[in-house]
């Protein structure tokens, strides 16, 4: 795991060193550079495999190709054996050399052979071109700046700001998208000039021109005749064990995050079976009624783990400035705070950590999966006239407190949440799946923005596309037109929810402390299998991750399988009255601060703040996301 950076079309040798220095937290163990005319590559290394070898940038024996690589290739040993049989000779034991020589042999087709997480750049001296690629799911980030005659790239966008010969301009649509989703979706970053290379894509750059192509997308579900439920369950077990085993390859110490939920529990259980020593596990708690800290500790004890706990408290909001710096862009979910703390604590004992991200996305475990599935069944069963003239009026008069009783979430739905539920009833048409999905995962919707946005900011959005990055999703699902409803819903998450939210956050908080996070549930072979699992084995009678629960029965205590799923939720509504939180909120969202920023109406922000005491789900999260946005402006604009 490392940080990479570089450029073509710029003669400055010192610039790449400055860029790499800004990424030192990603790779504190070593640094390396290539300087050749107007091509410069930089690398910061976090040593994981072949500690004494594998220095980068690395070149082929004939010097034609040079690579800067961030990530891990888990099947590099198998690939190496196959290549040795074809006559290749290797001088290191690193996965970097295997990747480089495989690219030398196969070019872009090498990407299909890789099992791992990666972002890498190859410089080809023969035609002075760059080849830049990112892994299938988007576990490792890669930003680029494409200017006339110049291309710059880096693992984190802060490195691109080391180059001064351009003028960053903030994209108002990125702000609008952030407020909707609490992250910036798609290829956009916060600046008009900076882009992300999309997951599952590669770029070629030569003669001042770039071309981007897609090489992978999640497969479309196709019914498989003759396969029993038991067949699927058996294959899931084989793939899960293989995925965890691959991610335990390391020449340094490793551990796992253990939340007490199904996904992390399965991961830790498999690690315990595959390890001769106790697995080091790390959990975080919040001291409230939905805390799973005790459940995690109980499982760790049963599995014989070396368990460690940390506490997240209201005063930990003071970590936000550091977190925003490491994120590069605003991410308005308070979960970044405990994740940052977990990484900091884990780094004291391990360098590699296995996490549970991805299980919900590929097996249908989120609340919004259940809501959308149930709503689709309701739409099919209840005629439109009955929905419009009976159901909606009835729902509109139901007290928010009564609706909260069926809101399976550790927070109070409240009046604003009730309005959000009513609005959702208007987007149940199957042709509007993306709109319905976006509505459920959104924070500020059109109703909120109408009162929040100042005139100048609203004018800046005029004429710009209103999509929150779903254009790619719509086209990707175009090939899945005949697929089951749940399959199409799960595919949407690969467009931006996973790469631009879940995985970007996981990478940034881990690498802030030079710790490598690995995600067994997002092994591409497991993902491709999951997309072929029949919907009935994912979401059955509104029980999410059904097949995963059945598999878990063979390796976990029954109480873990039966345990009601709880989101990893930070109870900000319990923190905001504490002095540290109040002081930060008063500073960031004061009338003066809001007026000076010039985006929002001060009276709208003041009204939101006044609603905090209601402890409602939506306003609390909205205020927190606005605080993060202002912190980002102060650090990067």
| Active-site annotation, residues | 2
Produce one character per residue of 175-186: b if its CB has 16 or more CB atoms within 10 Å, e if not.
Answer: bbbbbbbbbbbb
Q: Return left, alpha or beta for 149; rule: phi > 0 is left, psi -120 to 50 is alpha, else beta.
A: left
Partners of 170 in the β-ladder = 191
DSSP strand pairing (201-206 vs 209-214)? antiparallel
Between the alpha carbon of residue 531 and those of residues 223, 243, 549, the distances in Å are 11, 16, 17
Taking the C-alpha atoms of residue 130 and residue 145, their distance in angstroms, rounded to an integer, is 14
Taking the C-alpha atoms of residue 443 and residue 500, their distance in angstroms, rounded to an integer, is 16
Q: What is the CB neighbour count within 10 angstroms for residue 473?
A: 25
Between the alpha carbon of residue 149 and those of residues 206, 239, 353, the distances in Å are 10, 45, 40
Alpha helix ranges (H) inside 13-94: 13-21, 76-85
Closest CA to 204 of 431, 440, 8: 8
Backbone angles phi, psi at 63, to 5 degrees: 80, 5
- Residue 591 CB burial class (10 angstroms; 0-12, 13-18, ≥19): exposed
Taking the C-alpha atoms of residue 469 and residue 295, their distance in angstroms, rounded to an integer, is 38
Decide if 284 contacts 341 (C-beta within 8 A). yes
The 3 state secondary structure assigned to 52-71 is CCCCCCEECCCCCEEEEEEE
* Token representation of residue 508: 């940034």
């Amino acid at each position: 795991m490392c940080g990479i950076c570089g450029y073509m079309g710029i003669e400055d040798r010192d610039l790449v060193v400055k860029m790499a220095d800004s990424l030192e937290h990603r790779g504190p163990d070593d640094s390396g550079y290539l300087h050749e005319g107007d091509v410069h590559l930089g690398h910061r290394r976090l040593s994981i495999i072949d500690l004494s070898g594998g220095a980068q940038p690395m070149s082929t024996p004939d010097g034609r190709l040079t690579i800067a690589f961030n990530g891990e290739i888990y099947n590099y040993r198998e690939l190496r054996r196959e290549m040795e049989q074809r006559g290749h000779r290797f001088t290191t034991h690193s996965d970097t050399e295997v990747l480089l020589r495989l690219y030398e042999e196969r070019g872009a087709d090498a990407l299909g052979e890789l099992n791992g997480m990666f972002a890498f750049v190859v410089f080809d001296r023969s035609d002075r071109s760059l080849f830049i690629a990112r892994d299938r799911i988007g576990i490792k980030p890669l930003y680029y700046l494409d200017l006339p005659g110049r291309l710059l790239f880096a693992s984190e966008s802060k490195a691109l700001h080391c180059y001064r010969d351009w003028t960053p301009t903030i994209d108002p649509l990125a702000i609008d998208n952030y407020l909707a989703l609490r992250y910036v979706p798609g290829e956009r970053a916060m600046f008009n000039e900076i882009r992300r290379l999309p997951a599952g894509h590669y770029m070629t750059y030569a003669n001042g021109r770039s071309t981007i192509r897609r090489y992978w997308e999640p497969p479309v579900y196709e019914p498989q005749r003759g396969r029993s439920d038991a067949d699927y369950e058996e294959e899931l077990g084989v793939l899960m064990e293989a995925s965890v085993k691959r991610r335990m390859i390391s020449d340094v110490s490793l551990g796992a995050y253990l939340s007490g939920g199904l996904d992390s529990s399965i991961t830790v259980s498999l690690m315990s079976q595959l390890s001769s020593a106790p697995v080091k596990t790390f959990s975080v708690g919040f001291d409230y009624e939905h805390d799973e800290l005790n459940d995690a500790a109980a499982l760790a004890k049963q599995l014989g783990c070396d368990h460690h706990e940390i506490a997240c408290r209201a005063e930990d909001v003071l970590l936000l400035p550091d977190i925003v710096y490491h994120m590069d862009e605003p991410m308005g979910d308070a979960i970044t705070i405990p994740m940052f703390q977990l990484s900091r604590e884990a780094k004291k004992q391990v360098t590699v950590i296995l996490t549970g991200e991805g299980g919900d996305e590929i097996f249908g475990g989120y609340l919004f999966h259940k809501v959308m599935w149930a709503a689709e069944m309701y739409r099919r069963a209840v005629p439109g006239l009955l929905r419009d003239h009976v159901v909606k009026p009835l729902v509109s008069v139901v007290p928010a407190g009564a609706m909260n009783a069926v809101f399976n979430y550790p927070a109070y739905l409240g009046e604003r949440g009730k309005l959000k539920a009513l609005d959702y009833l208007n987007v149940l048409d199957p042709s509007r799946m993306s709109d319905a999905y976006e509505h459920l995962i959104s924070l500020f919707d059109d109703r909120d923005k109408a009162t929040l946005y100042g005139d100048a900011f609203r004018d800046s959005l005029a004429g710009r596309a209103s999509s929150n990055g779903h254009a790619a999703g719509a086209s990707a699902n175009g090939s899945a037109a005949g697929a089951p409803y749940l399959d199409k819903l799960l595919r949407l998450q690969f467009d931006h929810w996973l790469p631009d939210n879940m995985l970007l956050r996981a990478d940034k908080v881990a690498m802030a402390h030079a710790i490598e996070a690995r995600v067994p549930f997002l092994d591409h072979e497991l993902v491709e299998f999951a997309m072929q699992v029949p919907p009935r084995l994912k979401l059955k009678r509104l029980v999410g991750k059904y097949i995963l629960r059945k598999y878990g029965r063979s390796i976990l205590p029954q109480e873990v399988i039966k345990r009601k799923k709880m989101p990893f939720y930070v109870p900000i509504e319990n923190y905001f009255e504490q002095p540290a939180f109040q002081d930060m909120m008063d500073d960031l969202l004061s009338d003066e601060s809001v007026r000076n920023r010039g985006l929002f109406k001060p009276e709208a922000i003041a009204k939101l703040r006044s609603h905090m005491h209601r402890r409602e789900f939506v306003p609390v999260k909205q205020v927190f996301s606005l605080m993060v946005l202002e912190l980002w402006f102060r650090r990067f604009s």
